[in-house]
C-alpha cells in the first residue's frame, strides 16, 4: 500500500530542498534499487535514481521497507544528511 496522507498533510511536507534518497545495499546492482522522494514541487513524487539528496538512507532492502512501515528506526540504518527531514517525512506520510 502507499501513502495515506490527505492533501493538507502532504502539502505540509513540501518545500525547497526536500529530497530523500533511499538506497538498498543488498540487491544486485543491475536492479538499481535506489529511489528519490522529491518533496520540492506541488506534489510528492518519486523516481528510481542515484542522486544527491538532502538526506540519504542506506541499508538492506527489507530494513528500508521496515523503516517505511515504522517497524525499524532510521537510526538503525546508515543515514547521511538531514536526518530530521527523514523523520518529518516518515511522520507526515503514514503507510498502512
Strand partners, 38: 19, 45
What confidence tens digit (pLDDT) does each residue in 42-90 have? 999 999 999 999 999 999 999 999 999 999 999 999 999 999 999 999 9
Residue 10 has pLDDT above 80, yes or no: no
The confidence score (pLDDT) of residue 93 equals 79
With cut-offs at 50, 70 and 90, classify the pLDDT of residue 96: low
Sheet strand arrangement including 78-81: 45-48, 34-38, 19-24, 55-59, 78-81
Instruction: Tell me the CB-side half-sphere exposure of residue 59, using CA atoms within 13 A.
Output: 17
What confidence tens digit (pLDDT) does each residue in 30-47 have? 899 999 999 999 999 999
Amino acid at each position: 500500500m502507499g501513502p495515506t496522507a490527505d492533501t493538507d498533510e502532504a502539502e505540509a511536507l513540501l518545500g525547497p530542498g526536500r529530497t530523500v534518497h533511499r538506497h538498498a545495499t543488498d540487491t544486485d546492482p543491475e536492479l538499481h534499487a535506489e529511489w528519490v522522494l522529491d518533496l520540492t514541487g506541488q506534489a510528492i513524487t518519486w523516481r528510481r535514481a542515484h542522486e544527491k539528496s538532502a538526506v540519504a538512507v542506506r541499508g538492506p532492502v527489507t530494513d528500508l521497507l521496515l523503516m517505511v512501515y515504522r517497524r525499524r528506526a532510521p537510526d538503525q540504518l546508515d543515514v547521511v544528511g538531514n536526518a530530521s527531514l527523514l523523520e518529518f517525512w516518515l511522520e507526515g506520510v503514514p503507510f498502512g
